[in-house]
Structure 1
């Protein structure tokens, strides 16, 4: 049986899905790399809400997906931008997500780290005053307390409010220094580029990435005992490689580069420095089984086998994260539905409408080609029904 898929040029084409999934079985714990998947949230499709209402979350399905990630051997990066922080999920919903997921992690022995931000503040105005900076610090402190009380590691996320309030690099140095001194345990710092959130343009006090990098590294150098690692989400492999070579001993680099992750995780060629990136990636939400298997292969020292598994996934990742990159979550949730991890293709804030039908069809085609769907027939049936509802005759 074939599926009729729409193309970007307005035409359609028949696609013959594969009949068997890629055969992968979860195995030993990962050893050579620490790998987090930033996880999406599952909306409650029966809730009577509008896009402006607080998110209605299907908690059972949301936590079940986290158990799926832990079963693969991955850690969960919770309440990050993949979970639609600032794009449908407000702080009240994120706090509940942190509490529930942290409790679930303890119950199953899963690794978890949770996002700490400032999104309980009203939309940031251009208020570059000490009063505004105090409000930013207080918001960060409130969220840091929630994560620490839940018993999870903290990820200090980039803040729209800080980007609006900061008068220069010195305000970033002071704000992050203040928070790191308060943190009970070492945290992960997150540099999220403006391609993921335009409101973060000029983060670390400059739109010049070289200058911003120096401020970022200065924060880390001043508090290396309080920084477990950094997550770099700039989609710039060379800059990430430069940054990780300059990190203090013991501070990890977690790649957030959804375009270049295979080479960054594989790291330097033997004999050229020995540096590599761990991973904290949104693309590892749909790619969890392949990603985990690839790292297990890397654990044996087989770099070529690792790349053979992971390199073919890059085309799908680059497709999901194409411009405007911040809407990658739509493709992630589509693939979760097609893979049978949830019963519907509905997102908080109505974000299922954020990508075109040809974009979603291509995501299906690429994922099917990788063997990502445990039940290819189910995926075929679901994508066919979605296309039919939108007027693509099957």
Structure 2
């Protein structure tokens, strides 16, 4: 089997140095990489560095090796084109079909999946022109990753930071795994919840659950690889942010509820994979509850948390919005799942068995996807991203 052919485009931003780590990950995992830096990118990382790391000459000039027509052949022969960092200027040129250098020519001739990893100052990312360019690219099927939030150049901090190279690589690996498959979530906004909520009892104790967030993060990452704009509501998950995903951090069920109702306003699909606490302590002790020798502790009185999934199902934020729930069961899995599907009012319910080393905290899962129309899809035991793709297959079919 031939090594996948990857074109790594690098545009002229300070984050260009991070592309060296991305290049290393591609080459060490057996990919054949051609680096195409812009003239501005070469001010940050020189041509010799790209050649040394890739083991191939960097392609920098449209007029070099003219007999090989590099401005056409590089894009035509690629299995994946990824640009990291992608500046605001590069996004604008790609959206409007401009081709004034080798990299933009390559983007025009590519017939393979294209991944763009933006990096710029917050004001540039949030500018209406940039947002319109990103929306245009996504509608065409280009995977435009959401930039990360963090330290930018100088003292500035905000959204616009290049995602970590390891996470960009994972996003690209998922896109390559799908090959030339249609980006069936392109132009869609999806909301995913992940992790487990924690309900504080006092400043040091809480009621929680065993959810690691791995399934929700796999859902977010695979949706991004299929072209979606993804908002991930992360409840206490200690996992790296998936590249290209807008992460909103919450802790309690009430915080998740507030964040969910806000995030779903323009969402095409909502997948509630987080394990939400059914109850919370009726009272919060502002000081640590002390152990008193010879005295039994006072009973903890619990009150119900709101049913977020049922609320989102009953009050769709927009016509045609799909709502997907998760049900973790320990016995009578399918019977309990069908009853919950009817009770919650969602379109799809992913039912999986938990306990005894199953699902929670694991890298694998098995589930049954139940549909409100009576459909039933068995997903055998395997990596959580396989189950995630099965869920998005069902969502995409219904959105389509």
State whether TM-score is above 0.5.
no
Question: Which protein is richer in helix relative to its size?
Answer: 1
| Greater relative contact order (Cα < 8 A, sep 6+) | 1
Q: Which structure has the bigger radius of gyration?
A: 2
Question: Which protein is richer in strand relative to its size?
Answer: 2
Normalising by the residue count of structure 1, what TM-score does the alignment of the two structures yield? 0.30
